[in-house]
Each structure stands twice: as C-alpha cells, then as structure tokens.
Amino acid sequence: MFRHYALPLQTCSELIVFSRFSFFGNVGRGKDWLSSFRNEGPVLCDFSTSRSDVCELKGAVRVLPNATIVLHHPLARRQSWRMKPHARKNDRHALARVTEVTVASSHATDHSVPRCTANHTAPAVIFSVGGYAGNMFHDLTDVLVPLFITTRRFGGDVHLLVSDAQPWWLDKFWPLLRGLSRHDVVDMDRAGRGVLCYSHVIVGLEFHKEMSVDAARTAGEYSMADFALLARRSYGLTRDTAIRLHGRPRLLLISRKSTRAFTNVGAIARTATALGFDVVIGEPAQHGDLPSFARVVNSCDVLVGVHGAGLANLVFLPAGAVVVQVVPLGGLDAMAAEDFGAPARDAGLRYVHYRIAVAESTLARRYPLDHRVLRDPAAVRREGWMALRAAYLVGQNVTLDVRRFGVALRRAMELLR
C-alpha cells in the first residue's frame, strides 16, 4: 500500500502530477484521481520518499538558462512547481547550497515557449552537486550512487545536467561521470548555453540507501558491486580481487589529521606489521588527487579507519577485501554500520566492526569517568544531532589499545583466507 502526498508547491493551482504508482489531479484540492492517464503520460513524479524528489518528463522538454524546465505537450496544462534536485531533501543545511529549479508544463498551443538552441535525442538527468560537496561520503551517498541508480537504464547514452558544481569537483569525479555518460557534462550554472531540448528529462536523483544500491529494488539487475566495478574501471584500477594469502596482504591505515584521528598511528602500524601485514599510511585530501589515492586503495587488501568520510574510499578496494571500521565512543554503532558496514558488504567486501572501549577515547582524559558524555551517550544523542556531533564526532580522537585491536586485525586476516 503506497501513500501519496499533496505537494508543498507555491505556484500550483491545477497541476497534473503523477506519483510513481498513482496519478494526482488538482493536487491539494482533494479532487478525484484522474484514472484516464497511464504510466507513459507526460509527467511522472515521486515525492513520497524522505530523501529525494524525482520527476520524469516526456514530450517536448526545454531546459532554459534560468533553471527552468518546460514541458510542451498536448496533454499538459500551463502549471509549474519547484524542486531541489538533490538526494537530501529534508536536510535544510544541505539544501541551502542547492539551486532550486522550476518545472513548468505548457499546452502545445502555447506559442510563448522559447525556441530550441540545441536538440538532443538522448535523455537528460538534471541534478545538483550542492549540499556537502567535498566530503567523499556525501559525494557518493547524495550524488554519485543515486546518479548511477538513475542513469543505469540508459547504458551511457544520457546527458548529465549539473548545477552547483565547483570546477575542482567536476575534475575530481570526471572519470566516474564519464563512466556514467559518454556525453560531455553540461554545467547549468554556465552562462550562454542557450535552450536545450530533449524528449525525455529526469529531474532529481533516485535514492535507495546510504552509499549503496538496494538490489531488491533493481530486480537483481545491478547492485552496489556493479557501482564499485564501475568506479574501479573509471579510474583505471587493475585489481578486481583481493589477495588470498599467498603473500603478505597490504593494509591501508586511514590517518586523519583533525577530529577522530588515531593518536598512536605508529603503534598500530607496528602491530599490524607484526601480524603479517604490509602497512601503508595515507590520508585522502578533500580536493586532492583522487585517481592517485584510488590506486593506493586498490593496491590494498584491508582498509582500516575511524568512522568518517575516508572510509568511503572502500569503493576502490578489490572484491573480497576487508574493511575494518573503528567506531568511536557515542553509541554510534547503528549509524556506522549503516554508513559503511552495509555498503561494504553490498560492494562484495568483508567487514569488521571494532567498537572502542572508553579508555581508547581521548574523551576519557577530558572528562571524569562518571561524566554523562562517557557514562550515558544515549542521553547526549537525545539532545539532537548537533549535541551528538559536538560531543563525539568533532571533539574525539582515538588511542587504540593495540593488544585489543589485534583481535580485529587477526579477524581481517582470517577473512582473506
């Protein structure tokens, strides 16, 4: 049973909008469903999910320079609505950095519709890079994986129309964008691009779950493992399978310089070396050389890091590799498992979840042992995201008990067998 929602639109008086499963007529006015329209109708929208709004337009669609998309169709009335094409729609901080687009429908007899500057036979997908661009986890979760889900059916013959993308972001992910589309990316913020015309346009990106693909929703046609393969191919990575212990496995230790950093990297590296690993220490840079770092990740069999964006580089690991996530204090296990544990497994990797003890947190040296931050993280979490972030995500580093952590490293070694 699917639920349908009236649209929170400012300019919608008699808009015809179709949900993914039913059709709206005169949305917001309580009129009857318009059963005479079918799924192949000119507008098909899904506003029902908590993460993204998606509208699919078919007909004579014009993309104007002022972030307006106009559908010119015999079945369309002259209506309009607004949406932000980004897969974090209920996050006001993220959406503050996302350009709003106006989608309008116009009847075929309306001669005020602008003429086309360029006509394209391939479909187009319109999306925003805004939000938390530059954070690898959010780049993948909010943009790139949803873009993969949305464009997969077109087999590369699709135009990517992007807004709010800095040049460094486009350079960083150009290989992956090229892997999704064989056409040049269209920067919607660039002046002078004219009126682009298509017969099929999707506004917004389909979202499944945190940094992953729900294979059940694709009827088994593709999965997160396919996205990981695409990522490896796009960046020219050669290792598709992890080592099977005919040599010393290679371990990458993600070192962070600020919050949630390891304070005893040297001791961790020595312990891992003693257990049979060749250890590499690295830190991905926000605007750094992603192809080079991707090659380092792909050369490794085990990735170790504290919960954070650096673990998102797991998409470059060879299949069968192991991700060891160090979860800091704060009752963050469920979030950590959702953000990186499930995506790792979905991508064909093995996963080790290491929850630190209180003594391994630098917070144990800042607060007395009976302080609520140490004693009752659930109470802090009940105060909301900002309280949790300030207490555990920004103000905490990790000093691993290498003897205790050795158990996790031995488990990683076992998983490679």
Q: So what's the pLDDT on residue 41?
A: 62
Q: So what's the pLDDT on residue 14?
A: 30
Q: Which residues pair with 282 in a beta bridge?
A: 254
Looking at every residue in the chain, the average pLDDT score rounds to 88
Report d(CA 280, CA 267) in Å as an integer: 13
Tell me the per-residue pLDDT of 401-410, one tens digit each, with 9 for 90 and over. Answer: 999 999 999 9
Which residue type sits at 387? A
CA 415-416-417 angle, to 5 degrees, is 90
3-state secondary structure 65-106: CCCEEEEEECCCCCEEEEECCCCCCCCHHHHCCCCCEEEEEE
For the chain, the structural domain boundaries read 16-207, 240-415
CB 215 within 8 A of CB 346: yes
> Which tops the pLDDT comparison, 333 or 286?
333
User: Taking 90 as the threshold, does the pLDDT of residue 113 lie above it?
Assistant: no
User: Taking 90 as the threshold, does the pLDDT of residue 75 lie above it?
Assistant: no
Assign 243 a pLDDT band (cuts: 50, 70, 90): confident
Report d(CA 155, CA 177) in Å as an integer: 13
Q: Which residues pair with 279 in a beta bridge?
A: 251
User: Taking 50 as the threshold, does the pLDDT of residue 114 lie above it?
Assistant: yes
User: Taking 80 as the threshold, does the pLDDT of residue 71 lie above it?
Assistant: yes
Tell me the per-residue pLDDT of 334-385, one tens digit each, with 9 for 90 and over. Answer: 999 999 999 999 999 999 999 999 999 999 999 999 999 999 999 999 999 9
Residue 338: Cβ-neighbour burial (10 angstroms; 0-12, 13-18, 19+): middle
User: Taking 80 as the threshold, does the pLDDT of residue 31 lie above it?
Assistant: no
Report d(CA 203, CA 201) in Å as an integer: 6
CB 354 within 8 A of CB 327: yes
Which residue type sits at 313? N
Which residue type sits at 244? R
Q: Which residues pair with 254 in a beta bridge?
A: 282
Q: Which residues pair with 318 in a beta bridge?
A: none
Helix (H, G, I), strand (E, B) or coil at 160: strand
Smallest CA-to-CA distance from 351 within 384, 326, 368, 332 is with: 326
Report d(CA 345, CA 341) in Å as an integer: 6
CB 159 within 8 A of CB 123: yes
DSSP alpha helix (H) spans, 159-264: 167-172, 174-180, 224-234
pTM value is 0.89
At the topology level of CATH, where does 240-415 sit? Rossmann fold (3.40.50)
Interval 381-398 mean pLDDT: 94
